[in-house]
């Protein structure tokens, strides 16, 4: 059963098209993350769903009800903002109850809901305080509480953790996940942070220029990106790309790039890789082995350029096939700059894209 459904949604600001005939179905109880860099239209889409922006064309359904032209308050949504957007002159308690008072909910019911939300988020001791007396993390908790008291099935999050420092961000991330597990309601979550997306989402919609590039579960997004953009956007450091040509010899397939031939026989191609086709081979840094080649594997020699030890991992930057690439190895294995290494590629988990269409092959 779909909870939120977006049909052929378009939005123009004057001559600028921000969203163009966008379709998206979100299941009941699903945690969907809209992921993209700034200006990709993800927040715009969220604001359209919330009713804070008038759409130019298309329709929005929430619980099978057409809400395209409903007021935000009538859509059955709660929303959490990046800047928390707490009313500065009101106490936490007033902040939580403001919407209910506007809707003329009986006072007893308001008290009950506020109490419940405060319990869930553990903000009971803060109820009498003003937002200015709270820390960033506490503020965001209150902001979530404001969505909670509305007793709605759809939560919209607009980059809720972006204003917090790294430590708090990871703490609240876990809390949001726990909240979703206990409430089991639909959550639509906008972020530009891929870690948040990968850890929280049931499904991720990667967006670029107002178009959803790929909609899939996090593992699929990470391991089998649908196109070159998604492949490059997800993962840090980003996937290594080699532009080249398909070649076949002795029943094996190769991608030949600047004099280096990568054996891609193990790659589960959707269609047969035609020799001569221009392609881009993508290999994640952790899918390259250093000095661990098995018998019969193709081995490439390279010289370490820079070493970036990061504790758990160690990142090597080297040059291969005329371009810079990165390799992730275990933290205790050290290779000072200048050392020569033997690389072998796990092409079964690599990605190959058509050079022209940039789509996965």
Is residue 307 packed enough to be buried (19+ CB in 10 Å), middle (13-18) or exposed (0-12)? middle
Structural contact between residues 71 and 51, judged by C-beta atoms closer than 8 angstroms: yes
**Residue among 168, 144, 145 nearest 157 (CA):** 144
Interface with other proteins, residue 158, by CB under 8 A: yes
Interface with other proteins, residue 13, by CB under 8 A: no
Interface with other proteins, residue 107, by CB under 8 A: no
Looking up tokens 């007021």 gives 71
Interface with other proteins, residue 67, by CB under 8 A: yes
Interface with other proteins, residue 146, by CB under 8 A: yes
Q: Which is nearer to other proteins, 146 or 256 (CB)?
A: 146
Closest contact distance (angstroms) between CB of 54 and other proteins is 8
Residues 6+ apart with CB under 8 A from 275: 246, 247, 248
Q: Which is nearer to other proteins, 54 or 165 (CB)?
A: 54
The region of 59-67, 119-127, 255-263, 279-287 touching other proteins under the rule CB under 8 A is 59-67
State the Cα torsion 158-163-165-171 to the nearest 10°: -30
Interface with other proteins, residue 87, by CB under 8 A: yes
Single out the residue of 3, 44, 68, 326 in contact with other proteins (rule: CB under 8 A): 68
Single out the residue of 27, 81, 136, 177 in contact with other proteins (rule: CB under 8 A): 81
Measured in degrees and rounded to the nearest 5, phi and psi for residue 145 equal -60, -35
Interface with other proteins, residue 89, by CB under 8 A: yes
Closest contact distance (angstroms) between CB of 331 and other proteins is 37
Task: Tell which positions 221-280 bind other proteins, by CB under 8 A.
Answer: none
Would you say how long the chain is, in residues?
361
Interface with other proteins, residue 52, by CB under 8 A: yes
Q: Which is nearer to other proteins, 102 or 312 (CB)?
A: 102
Closest contact distance (angstroms) between CB of 173 and other proteins is 20
Interface with other proteins, residue 357, by CB under 8 A: no
Structural contact between residues 328 and 236, judged by C-beta atoms closer than 8 angstroms: no
Q: Which is nearer to other proteins, 146 or 203 (CB)?
A: 146
The region of 62-70, 173-181, 278-286, 291-299 touching other proteins under the rule CB under 8 A is 62-70
Handedness of CA 153, 156, 162, 163 (dihedral sign): negative
**Residue among 4, 11, 34, 28 nearest 192 (CA):** 34
**d(C-alpha 324, C-alpha 337), whole Å:** 14
Q: Which is nearer to other proteins, 75 or 203 (CB)?
A: 75
Closest contact distance (angstroms) between CB of 180 and other proteins is 19
Interface with other proteins, residue 98, by CB under 8 A: yes
Structural contact between residues 36 and 192, judged by C-beta atoms closer than 8 angstroms: yes
Closest contact distance (angstroms) between CB of 185 and other proteins is 16
**d(C-alpha 147, C-alpha 160), whole Å:** 12
**d(C-alpha 172, C-alpha 189), whole Å:** 14
Interface with other proteins, residue 122, by CB under 8 A: no
Structural contact between residues 47 and 77, judged by C-beta atoms closer than 8 angstroms: no
Residues that bind other proteins (CB under 8 A): 2, 5, 47, 50-52, 54, 59, 61, 64-73, 77-79, 81-89, 98-99, 102-103, 143, 146, 150, 158
């Amino acid at each position: 059963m779909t909870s939120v459904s977006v049909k052929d949604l378009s939005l123009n600001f004057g001559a600028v098209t921000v969203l163009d005939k966008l379709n998206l179905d979100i299941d009941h109880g699903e945690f969907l993350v809209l992921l993209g860099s700034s200006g990709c239209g993800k927040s715009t889409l969220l604001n359209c769903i919330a009713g804070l922006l008038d759409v130019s064309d298309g329709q929005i359904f929430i619980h099978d009800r057409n809400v395209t032209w409903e007021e935000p308050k009538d859509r059955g949504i709660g929303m959490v903002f990046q800047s928390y957007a707490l009313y500065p002159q009101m106490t936490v308690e007033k902040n939580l109850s403001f919407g209910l008072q506007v809707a003329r909910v009986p006072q007893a019911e308001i008290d009950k809901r506020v109490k419940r939300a405060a319990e869930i988020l553990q903000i009971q001791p803060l109820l009498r305080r003003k937002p200015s007396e709270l820390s960033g993390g506490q503020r965001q908790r209150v902001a979530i509480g404001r969505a909670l008291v509305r007793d709605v099935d759809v939560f919209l999050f607009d980059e809720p953790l972006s204003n917090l420092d790294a430590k708090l961000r990871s703490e609240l991330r876990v809390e949001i996940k726990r909240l979703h597990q206990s409430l089991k309601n639909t959550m639509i979550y906008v972020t530009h942070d891929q870690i948040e997306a990968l850890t929280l989402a049931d499904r991720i919609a990667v967006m670029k220029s107002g178009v959803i590039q790929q909609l899939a579960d996090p593992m699929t997004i990470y391991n089998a990106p649908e196109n070159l953009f998604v492949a490059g956007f997800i993962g840090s450091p980003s996937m290594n790309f080699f532009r080249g040509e398909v070649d076949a010899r002795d029943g094996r397939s190769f991608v030949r790039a600047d004099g280096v031939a990568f054996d891609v026989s193990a790659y589960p191609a959707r269609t047969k890789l035609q020799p001569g086709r221009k392609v881009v081979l993508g290999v994640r840094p952790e899918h390259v082995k250093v000095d661990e080649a098995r018998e019969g594997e193709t081995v490439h020699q390279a010289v370490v350029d820079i070493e970036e030890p990061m504790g758990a991992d160690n990142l090597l930057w080297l040059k291969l096939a005329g371009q810079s690439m990165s390799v992730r190895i275990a933290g205790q294995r050290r290779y000072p700059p200048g050392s020569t290494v033997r690389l072998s590629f796990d092409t079964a988990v690599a990605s190959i894209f058509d050079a022209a269409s940039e789509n996965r092959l």
